[in-house]
Amino acid sequence: MKIYLDGKYVSEDEAKTSVFDHGLLYGDGVFEGIRLYGGRIFRLEQHLDRLLNSAKAIMLTVPLTKEQLVEACCETCRQNKLKDGYIRLVVTRGVGSLGLNPFRCKNPTVFIIADTIDLYPDEVYRKGLKLVTASTQRTSPAAVSPSIKSLNYLNNILAKIEAVNAGADEAIMLNSQGHVAECTGDNIFVVRRGKLETPPVSAGALIGVTRQVVIELAVKRDMDVSEANLTRCDVWTADEVFLTGTAAEIAPVVNVDGRIIGSGHPGPLTLKLTEDFRKLTRTDGVSIGAK
């Protein structure tokens, strides 16, 4: 495997960074997970816009232009002869001294991994996910904006630990008001009486790229789509529930906190949106070109 690291393409064994990198020491950095379908990078521009906005919010200067990031992502895929897979683009604060001051880090680190990914087993997409509600609350938007996709995922990891310990596939995270924010790595949607609802950013939800794609697809189907503050009860009593994320794509949910959702099988609207999504990914995206 070849990995992009600060302007060079190096082997996996050579892809190393300093123990003094503030991305490692303090989770100080930003990242994007991006999908590659049939030699096309899906919604690359939107992912890069979010990365650059996240970096701007934490006053981290990305040492590459948007155009250079596009080429680096494409070339990393070409180097690995990858046509379908997952790209992890990371920008850290870089090497600095011990202590929190980020301005002592002079040169940000950029690396890109292009590989395959299987977030959930195939049968999950046929049979559906089992979710639990985590006791770990989502970090308040007043503390850290969910619009910043940073390297600090400990809040999500703590909730994921609860899911694993409970024998579930994923965990729902609530905010301090008891409203649903998101899952540990995915946005969440509910279908109630034909209406599609998802938590707003103010609840603690990341503005997911796949989330936005699903909203666009639902609007094309003339579905009623809105952002809404959702309680656990809203999820328990929904006709359908599904998760969205770059790695997860669209994943149906059939059980939440021991409650059967709908019929106990992936719902009809979930399946229609999944079909639309798969069709879109076959034609939409930035071509990585030939080697």
State the Cα–Cα distance between residues 128 and 243, nearest whole angstrom.
Answer: 10
Inside any domain, residue 286: no
Do 254 and 272 lie in one domain? The reply is: yes
User: To the nearest whole percent, how much of the chain has pLDDT over 70?
Assistant: 99
**Could you tell me where the DSSP H helices lie in the chain?**
22-26, 44-57, 66-79, 122-127, 154-165, 209-220, 232-236, 268-281
Torsions phi, psi for 115 (to 5 deg): -155, 180
Do 71 and 31 lie in one domain? The reply is: yes
Give the position of tokens 């049939």. Answer: 38
Do 148 and 233 lie in one domain? The reply is: yes
Do 103 and 147 lie in one domain? The reply is: no
Do 127 and 263 lie in one domain? The reply is: yes
Do 95 and 153 lie in one domain? The reply is: no
Rounded average pLDDT over 161-165: 98
Q: How confident is the model at residue 118 (pLDDT cuts 50, 70, 90)?
A: confident
What residues pair up with 86 in beta bridges, in sequence order?
35, 115
Inside any domain, residue 288: no
Q: How confident is the model at residue 291 (pLDDT cuts 50, 70, 90)?
A: low
Take residue 146 and report the two structure tokens written for it: 């969910």
Q: pTM for the full model? A: 0.96
Supply the CATH number for residue 79's domain.
3.30.470.10
Q: Please tell me which residue in 149, 220, 272, 279 is annotated as part of the active site.
A: 149
Q: How confident is the model at residue 12 (pLDDT cuts 50, 70, 90)?
A: very high
Do 259 and 131 lie in one domain? The reply is: yes
Q: How confident is the model at residue 119 (pLDDT cuts 50, 70, 90)?
A: confident
Give residue 274's pLDDT: 97
Q: How confident is the model at residue 249 (pLDDT cuts 50, 70, 90)?
A: very high
Nearest by Cα to 215 from 233, 238, 242:
242
Give the position of tokens 């590459």. Answer: 64
Q: Is 66 labeled as catalytic in the residue annotation?
A: no
State the Cα–Cα distance between residues 185 and 119, nearest whole angstrom.
Answer: 10
Take residue 73 and report the two structure tokens written for it: 């992502």
Q: What residues contact residue 276 under an 8 Å CB cut-off, 6+ apart?
A: 217, 220, 221
* Overall number of domains in the chain: 2
State the Cα–Cα distance between residues 231 and 249, nearest whole angstrom.
Answer: 24
Inside any domain, residue 185: yes
State the Cα–Cα distance between residues 228 and 74, nearest whole angstrom.
Answer: 37
Q: Which of 62, 96, 115 is the last residue of a domain?
A: 115
Q: Does the pLDDT at position 173 exceed 90? A: yes
Inside any domain, residue 194: yes
Give the position of tokens 């008001």. Answer: 177
Do 158 and 272 lie in one domain? The reply is: yes
Q: Which of 93, 115, 137 is the last residue of a domain?
A: 115
Tens digit of pLDDT for each residue in 223-237? 999 999 999 999 999
Inside any domain, residue 266: yes
Structural domain for 81, as ranges: 2-115
Do 74 and 143 lie in one domain? The reply is: no
Rounded average pLDDT over 198-205: 96
Give residue 22's pLDDT: 98
Q: Which of 115, 139, 167 is the last residue of a domain?
A: 115
